[in-house]
Amino acid sequence: YFAHPHTETVTSAIARRRVAAAFTRVAGRSLAMAPAKWVYNFGAGGADGRSEMKNLLGGKGANLAEMAFIGLPVPPGFTVTTEVCTHFYENGQSYPEGLREQVREALA
């Protein structure tokens, strides 16, 4: 196996960028560009989530979002993501930063 030093450097740099980009993407969004979304609203003829987001919203949350999205009469509400539960147990039973504000906004 023979690798030209310049080719190896370029290839390594590209690989590092791809790995870094993969680690900053969660649920199709870039964490570097936007704060984490912990609360998804539904009802009143619309929804932030969809049925495809079952792993993030849980079964009930995803189904409520889908019903609201397709126009079924669903009372307004919100779902706190499963990521909040994971964060809670992995971080000494503490809630993630920004959750309180997002819940207050959903209740307003």
- Tens-place pLDDT, residues 35-57: 799 999 999 889 999 999 999 99
pLDDT band for 34, please (50, 70, 90 cuts): low
- CA dist 102 and 52 (Å) reads 22
Over range 80-96, report the average pLDDT: 96
Rg value, the chain, Cα: 19
Encoded tokens for 34: 């936007």
Reported pTM: 0.66
Phi, psi angles (nearest 5°) of residue 104: -60, -40
User: Is the confidence at residue 92, as pLDDT, over 60?
Assistant: yes
